[in-house]
Amino acid sequence: MPSSPTRKCLVAAQAILAGPQDVRVVAFGWEQGWTTPYVSVRIGRVLLNIEDRDAFGALLEAVRQAEAAADQAFGPARRLPR
C-alpha cells in the first residue's frame, strides 16, 4: 500500500527503556508563536515531537497495544495493597 503524502517520520530509531524514567510533556502552539504546533514528549532520553492529532492517535494506539502485551511479556503488574 503506498503511504499517504501527509505522513512523515524524520528519524527511524530504536531505544531501550528499562526502569523508572523521567517524563516531561510540553505543548508548543500557535498562541506561543510556533508556525508548526506540536507536543513534545520526553521519556528518559527519548524525545517525540508530535505535530498533529493523527500522529497523536497513532502513539496512543501503540501505547494501548503495548499495555495489553505487558502482562504477557513481564507478568502481571504488582498491585500495592490499599
pLDDT at res. 1: 47
Question: Within a domain: residue 31?
Answer: yes
Beta strands in the chain (DSSP E): 23-28, 38-43, 46-50
Reply yes or no on whether the pLDDT at 7 is more than 90: no
| C-alpha dist (Å) from residue 21 to 5, 9, 52, 73 | 34, 24, 25, 19
Q: Is residue 14 part of a domain?
A: no
Residue 45 falls inside a structural domain: yes
* pLDDT, position 11: 80
33 in a domain, yes or no?
Answer: yes
Domain that holds residue 43: 23-71
Q: Is 81 contained in some domain?
A: no
Q: What mean pLDDT, rounded, does the chain reach?
A: 89
Is the pLDDT reported for residue 3 higher than 70?
A: no
Structural domains of the chain, count: 1
Q: Domain for residue 56, yes or no? A: yes
13 within a domain of the structure (yes/no): no
Query: Does 1 fall in a domain?
Result: no
Threshold 0.85, pTM exceeds = no
Tell me the percentage of the chain whose pLDDT exceeds 70: 91
